[in-house]
Amino acid sequence: MVAQPSFRFSHLIAAFVALLAMTCLATAAIAQDAIHGAVSMDSSKVVGSEACMKCHGQEVAVWKQTPHHHTFKELHRRPEAKQIAERMGIRSIKRGDLCTKCHYTMQAVDGREKAVAGVSCESCHGAAQDWIAIHNDYGGPTVTKESESAEHAQQRVTKAIRNGMQNPANVYLIARSCYNCHTVPNEQLVNVGGHAAGSAGFELVAWSQGMIRHNFLSADYASNAHSPTGRLRLMYVTGLMTNLEYSLRATANATSAATYGFASAERAFEARKRLAELQAQLNHPILTEALDAAYGVKLKSNNKDALTLAADQVGSAAFSFAQSADCATLGAVDAYLPAASQYKN
Ligand code: HEC
Ligand code: HEC
Ligand code: HEC
Ligand code: HEC
């Protein structure tokens, strides 16, 4: 008699934990207007990765093994980089914003901008000055993660995002920074400089679950385990949508029928097709919105306004999807998920 209720209770807990792992309904009600327009970094609000060290030493250690970190010391030494810079007519790749926007973290000290790192924590999570003290404050020195109220946790995440944090609570917030760099939306840089027109085959799950991965925080994940399947489903679909958004943005910048224009239109064409194929399985209303916007526009040069509008619509759909999709209902995505052997290491 005594054993029975506790037996049932532990079952209930197990079921609840399983539910948590499978579903990924967003815990914080993040409003669409919390995302302020395009991805940008205010160098006067950059604090640098040393400021994260104290509490996120393991994440920093992982980052230090990646090309994002190495590019700081290596890029300017590469002959290809010197050639691109020469063709673009710039003397220093660590000054100005032509190369620094994507290869470095710029910090303004006393009004002077300086490259302080390669692609770092804040490149993906947002310049931290205005959110660093908020994102880990459970509600005063006596409150712990366990005793924090659900309401306070919601407010904390929402407030951090309003203050510029790209919080994985809505994975679109991070996905868009990946694509903002990895689609290389700069026509001159490609056509004149000879820079690659984006990273071939960039896909959010494969590119985030390999060498980049730093899952140390959540007790649901073993120390730096891959993100759970439900989360990967959500990331995969959000990634395809964000890929489409940023491919449309890149195409919007095309003014001539040359390498850049062809490459970005081709990528948008493929992105649209891949999302449509997935939608044939998923039949999700938010994907319908994104696809209607993307198929309603011509993938051609000098079509900036229409392409930008479509990109905005796809982006806002991607945000809503990341916010509201229930991973448990996305089982059809499993057939498309890259295998662990395809993760970028
Ligand atoms: C004083 C300790 C501390 C510092 C410094 C700190 N963090 Fe955190 N961070 C935490 C804690 C604690 C959490 C877990 C919050 C929770 O339970 O949601 C966290 C969570 C996060 C998350 C996960 C999202 C979330 O809100 O849970 C990200 C991303 C993050 N921190 C990035 C950073 C970055 C980038 C820096 C440096 C610019 C930084 N943190 C500095 C303590 C810190
Ligand atoms: C819009 C973002 C963006 C800008 C701006 C940018 N790059 Fe890149 N660059 C990238 C990305 C992303 C890659 C990685 C491409 C890949 O996946 O192969 C890259 C790769 C490179 C590489 C090859 C790296 C290697 O491993 O050898 C060189 C060289 C390079 N960039 C030089 C430059 C120079 C010089 C500038 C400025 C004139 C510049 N880049 C501006 C995003 C950018
Ligand atoms: C600020 C710009 C920027 C952001 C944001 C960014 N990257 Fe990168 N990434 C780069 C550049 C530049 C390189 C190439 C560095 C080099 O080789 O010099 C790169 C390289 C990589 C590589 C290594 C590729 C290889 O061929 O070895 C991976 C993996 C990667 N990025 C994944 C991601 C993911 C996933 C995200 C988002 C979660 C992301 N990146 C966000 C600029 C960025
Ligand atoms: C290339 C982009 C990128 C960079 C650079 C980056 N992060 Fe992240 N970070 C992510 C992504 C994407 C996630 C969400 C991963 C997921 O949910 O599977 C994440 C998640 C996190 C989390 C929560 C994950 C957990 O443990 O549950 C923390 C904390 C964090 N990042 C801190 C940092 C810190 C500190 C740095 C710098 C050392 C950093 N990140 C650099 C992209 C990045």
Give CA–CA dist 74/55, Å, rounded: 28
Residue 153: CB partners within 8 Å, gap ≥ 6?
Answer: 27, 28, 138
Q: How confident is the model over 194-253, as pLDDT tens digits?
A: 999 999 999 999 999 999 999 998 777 778 999 999 999 999 999 999 999 999 999 999
Give residue 254 CA to ligand 1 midpoint distance, Å: 38
What single-letter amino acid sits at 25?
L
What residues flank ligand 4, with Cβ below 6 Å? Answer: 49, 52, 56, 59-60, 63, 68, 119-121, 123-125, 168, 174, 208, 212, 214-218, 227, 231
Ligand 1 pocket, residue 136 CB under 6 Å: yes
Residue 259: CB partners within 8 Å, gap ≥ 6?
Answer: 190, 191, 197
Residue pLDDT tens, the chain, 345 long: 333 333 343 343 333 333 444 456 666 777 776 665 668 899 999 999 999 999 999 999 999 999 999 999 999 999 999 999 999 999 999 998 999 999 999 999 888 999 999 999 999 999 999 999 999 999 999 999 999 999 999 999 999 999 999 999 999 999 999 999 999 999 999 999 999 999 999 999 999 999 999 999 877 777 899 999 999 999 999 999 999 999 999 999 999 999 999 999 999 999 999 999 999 999 999 999 999 999 999 999 999 999 999 999 999 999 999 999 999 999 999 999 999 999 999
